[in-house]
């Protein structure tokens, strides 16, 4: 079943964000999308000082979406990703593949 997940510190955490809300915010206001998960991220990584969008990925074939945030927080800088997918692990691997291609 296609749904949203937060991936942080090697954990997938299921989220209750509708596809409509996810698409609306991921496209136009990705920082507002982060606000929906801020408390979860703080629970995992401590107080948040700054957040920026680091990367975005959309696979039109699988309809997987990944939004990556760089979060400066109490424990340092951490990556937090919101993934919308049937298979979040696979979506994450595709995202990493695309990111690697950008830097080659």
pLDDT in tens, the chain (104 residues): 789 999 999 999 999 999 899 989 988 899 999 999 999 999 999 999 999 999 999 988 888 999 999 999 999 999 999 999 999 999 999 998 887 776 66
Distances from the Cα of 53 to the Cαs of 48, 56, 82, in angstroms? Answer: 14, 8, 11
> According to the 3-state scheme, what is the secondary structure of 7-72?
EECCEEEEECCCHHHHHHHHHHCHHHHHHCCHHHHHHHHCCEEEEEEEEEEEECCCCEEEEEEEEE
Provide CB contacts within 8 A for 20, sequence distance 6+.
none
């Amino acid at each position: 079943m296609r749904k949203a997940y937060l991936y942080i510190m090697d954990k997938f955490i299921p989220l209750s964000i509708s596809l409509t809300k996810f698409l609306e915010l991921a496209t136009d206001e990705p920082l507002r999308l982060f606000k929906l998960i801020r408390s979860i991220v703080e629970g995992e990584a401590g107080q948040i000082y700054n957040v920026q969008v680091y990367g975005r990925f959309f696979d039109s074939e699988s309809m997987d979406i990944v939004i990556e945030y760089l979060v400066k927080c109490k424990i340092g800088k951490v990556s937090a990703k919101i993934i919308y997918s049937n298979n979040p692990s696979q979506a994450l691997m595709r995202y990493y593949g695309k990111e690697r291609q950008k830097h080659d």
